[in-house]
């Protein structure tokens, strides 16, 4: 059994970013940015939560149990399933032509065996299915709340994986980052200790009777995907750490048939993120495929619309955020140049950060985004500043620190309305908080008393800080 990387190794990751960039740029020379179109918003009856492709067709799922299909690259859509005030479908996937599934809030699981024309429904438990992976119509894994469960009857019954009882080391890993099922025998789970924490890949080769714990040395793994009969792991690794001057970090793609023995795949020319069965986000404006013997690149419009939830079909990429948008995607032999603004894609360094934060009970998608604020709206706050030569000192800076009270209603379909923000220092902060909460999605209320929705409340702490050299303050939000 391999052991988790230690503190000093994680420190190398941070210190080596610059050297990683230098090494990466030797691998592929970026092409000039091609002339691209713009992202266009797609109108569908309900909010989209997930997108996938099969046979070069798009499929999406979302609120009100909506499932829709596009056969023309996202130009037109046909709704195949929906239910007013139904569950929130968080995932949709196809195992092969004709055979697909979708899952989401309150334990819902839908199956189709006729190419998505009809969908049969079942429920198992009341917790939301946060992640799910089936290898066929019988065998799969799901993250249900904080537990990982396995099924061998298509989701009729589920059992907690025995790794929780047999592997003591995974007790330190508080987050399930990914689940992947390859067949009736092979499945794996990626556990994380946090955004900067260690990882463990727990795998089975006997249908879940026993599990093996593997930690890839000198590495930080944040992604796990089932692709073409293999597990694929994505992240960073430190190489050449024994040479004079120490090692440096590089992007990492590994593949394995059993989840224990891993082989390096092709190396990307830069750090990447948000890996799915079609590839990874290289940066805003570029997708890279790492499953072949050399990287495959696609250029897309770089305006911040790309999110970690994306799919590609018929020369088009579609991406899911607060809005569902699609754009032209152009195949290239080398990566397009980074945008000069270096606008970060949401979750671009670590998709762990893109996942929902549980701010109130029942959150499915609940994010609080940082936002800019004009300096003339700030007051004075006390801050602790790190000194160049070491040590710290207290000083007053332009800023705001305040706690807001937020009331809102969860509609019967899990979306939000009737938002009231109290004690905001100014209208700009009130507007930013309101916009975030307007985009939340929670487990749809199911009690008899909630026939008109469910009233909820929470507290949000806002902190805005601006150094003298900054033109604007950066405001961060955190639930209390």
DSSP characters over 74-130: TSS-EEEE--TT-PPEEEEEEEETTEEEEEEGGGEEEEESSTTS--EEEE-SSS-EE
Residue 34 confidence (pLDDT): 55
Domain ranges of the chain: 7-354, 363-479
H or E, element range at 21: helix 17-24
Residue 305 buriedness (CB in 10 A; 0-12 / 13-18 / 19+) = buried
Q: Tell me 156's DSSP state.
A: S
Residue 452 buriedness (CB in 10 A; 0-12 / 13-18 / 19+) = exposed
pLDDT band for position 30 (cuts 50, 70, 90)? low
Residue 413 confidence (pLDDT): 95
Residue 343 confidence (pLDDT): 45
Q: What does the pLDDT look like over 179-200, one tens digit per residue? A: 999 999 999 999 998 666 689 9
Q: What does the pLDDT look like over 215-252, one tens digit per residue? A: 999 899 999 999 999 999 999 898 887 787 777 888 99
Give the sheet arrangement for strand 187-192, strand by strand. 175-181, 187-192, 199-204, 212-214
DSSP-H helix ranges across 310-446: 427-438
Average pLDDT over residues 301-314: 94
H or E, element range at 6: none
**Answer CATH for 7-354 from 3.50.30.30, 3.20.19.10, 1.10.10.10, 2.130.10.10:** 2.130.10.10
- Going by C-alpha positions, the residue among 478, 474, 450, 451 that lies closest to residue 462 is 478
Q: What does the pLDDT look like over 130-184, one tens digit per residue? A: 999 999 999 999 998 778 999 999 999 999 999 999 998 888 887 899 999 999 9
pLDDT band for position 262 (cuts 50, 70, 90)? very high
Q: Tell me 240's DSSP state.
A: -
Average pLDDT over residues 439-452: 82
Token pair 């394995």 in the structure block, residue: 256
Average pLDDT, the chain: 87
Residue 359 confidence (pLDDT): 62
pLDDT band for position 346 (cuts 50, 70, 90)? very low
Asked if residue 1 has pLDDT above 50, the reply is no
34-48, 78-92, 317-331, 396-410, range with the lowest pLDDT? 34-48
Asked if residue 274 has pLDDT above 80, the reply is yes
């Amino acid at each position: 059994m391999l052991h988790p990387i230690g503190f000093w190794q994680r420190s190398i990751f941070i210190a080596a970013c610059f050297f990683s960039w230098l090494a990466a740029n030797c691998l592929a020379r970026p092409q000039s940015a091609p002339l691209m179109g713009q992202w266009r918003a797609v109108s569908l009856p309900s909010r989209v939560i997930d997108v996938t492709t099969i046979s070069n067709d798009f499929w999406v799922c979302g609120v009100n149990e909506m499932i829709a299909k596009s056969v023309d690259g996202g130009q037109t859509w046909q709704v195949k399933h929906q239910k007013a005030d139904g569950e929130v479908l968080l995932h949709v996937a196809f195992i092969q032509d004709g055979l697909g599934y979708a899952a989401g809030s309150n334990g819902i699981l839908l199956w189709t065996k006729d190419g998505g024309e009809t969908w049969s429904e079942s429920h198992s438990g009341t917790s939301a299915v946060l992640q799910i992976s089936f290898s066929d119509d019988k065998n799969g894994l799901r993250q249900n709340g904080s537990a990982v469960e396995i099924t061998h009857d298509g989701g009729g019954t589920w059992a907690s994986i025995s790794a929780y009882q047999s592997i003591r080391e995974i007790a330190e890993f508080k987050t399930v980052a990914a689940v992947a099922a390859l067949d009736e025998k092979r499945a794996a789970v990626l556990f994380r200790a946090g955004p900067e924490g260690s990882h463990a890949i727990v795998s089975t080769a006997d249908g879940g009777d026993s599990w093996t714990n593997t930690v890839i040395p000198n590495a930080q793994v944040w992604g796990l995907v089932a692709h073409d009969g293999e597990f694929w792991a994505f992240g960073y690794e430190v190489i050449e750490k024994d040479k004079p001057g120490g090692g440096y970090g590089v992007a990492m793609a590994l593949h394995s048939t059993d989840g224990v023995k891993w082989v390096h795949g092709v190396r990307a020319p830069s750090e990447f993120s948000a890996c799915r069965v079609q590839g990874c986000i290289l940066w805003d404006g570029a997708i890279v495929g790492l499953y072949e013997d050399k990287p495959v690149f696609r250029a897309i419009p770089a305006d911040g619309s790309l999110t970690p939830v994306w799919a590609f079909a018929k020369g088009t990429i579609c991406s899911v955020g607060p809005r569902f948008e699609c754009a032209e995607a152009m195949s290239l032999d080398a990566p397009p140049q980074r945008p000069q603004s270096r606008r970060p894609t949401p979750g671009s360094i670590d998709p762990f950060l893109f996942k929902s934060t549980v701010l109130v009970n029942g959150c499915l998608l609940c994010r609080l985004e940082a936002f800019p604020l004009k300096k003339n709206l700030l007051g004075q706050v006390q801050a602790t500043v790190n000194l160049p030569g070491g040590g710290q000192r207290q000083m007053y800076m332009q800023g705001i620190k305040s706690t807001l009270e937020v009331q809102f209603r969860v509609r019967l379909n899990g979306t939000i309305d009737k938002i009231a923000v109290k004690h905001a220092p100014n209208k700009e902060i009130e507007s930013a908080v309101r916009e975030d909460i307007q985009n939340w999605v929670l487990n749809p209320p199911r009690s008899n008393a909630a026939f008109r929705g469910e009233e909820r409340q929470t507290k949000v702490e806002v902190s805005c800080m601006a150094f003298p050299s900054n033109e604007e303050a950066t405001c961060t939000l955190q639930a209390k």
